[in-house]
Amino acid sequence: MNAVTIRTVTTVDTGETIRDVPVLVDYHMNDGYDWMDVISEHGWSVIPSWGCDGWDLGQWPYVMVAGIRTADETGNLFGMATYCEGDVRTTFYRTKARFWEAITEQAFFHWKNGQAQGPEDLPEAVADLPGRYRTPCTIYDAA
């Protein structure tokens, strides 16, 4: 059983059909940590945190969000996969903005439901989430 297969996908944001894309699929062998290792061999990375202060994105090893940036002849492609105890859902986006929004929706869901540590001042709806919670965490080395 492999965690990755090559498929034809349709981008969520632009509705384009893209052939020969590395898609993450259900993985019910071993655990989430093993899944992380397997997908990294195919260019995917699990995203550990989200937002300006780096709040948890998921609940390892049971729930994780992974991403990939690849490209075709038209331009960049951004893939997001959600892993929940072996069940995997993969989506692709043409724009980084829509990719980040999809990750933000996942982060908000897990923060709001207490499944991951997140900001204390969450609004009721993801649409009202401040911009500082909608971007990747960037931590700079103080050296």
pLDDT in tens, 14-68: 999 999 999 999 999 989 999 999 999 999 999 999 999 999 999 999 999 999 9
Spatial separation of the C-alpha atoms in residues 121 and 107, rounded to whole Å: 14
Structure confidence at residue 115 (pLDDT): 85
Structure confidence at residue 1 (pLDDT): 61
Q: How far is residue 135 from each of residues 63, 90, 106, 129, measured CA to CA in Å?
A: 19, 20, 12, 11
pLDDT in tens, 76-131: 999 999 999 999 999 999 999 999 999 999 999 999 998 899 999 999 999 999 99
pLDDT at 75 over 70: yes
Structure confidence at residue 76 (pLDDT): 97
Question: What is the 8-class DSSP label of residue 136?
Answer: B
Closest residue by Cα to residue 136 from 63, 58, 77, 48: 48
Beta bridge partners of residue 65, listed in sequence order: 82
Structure confidence at residue 141 (pLDDT): 56
Closest residue by Cα to residue 36 from 105, 103, 83: 83
Bond preceding residue 123 cis, omega within 30 of 0: no
pTM of the model: 0.93
Domain boundaries, the chain: 4-133
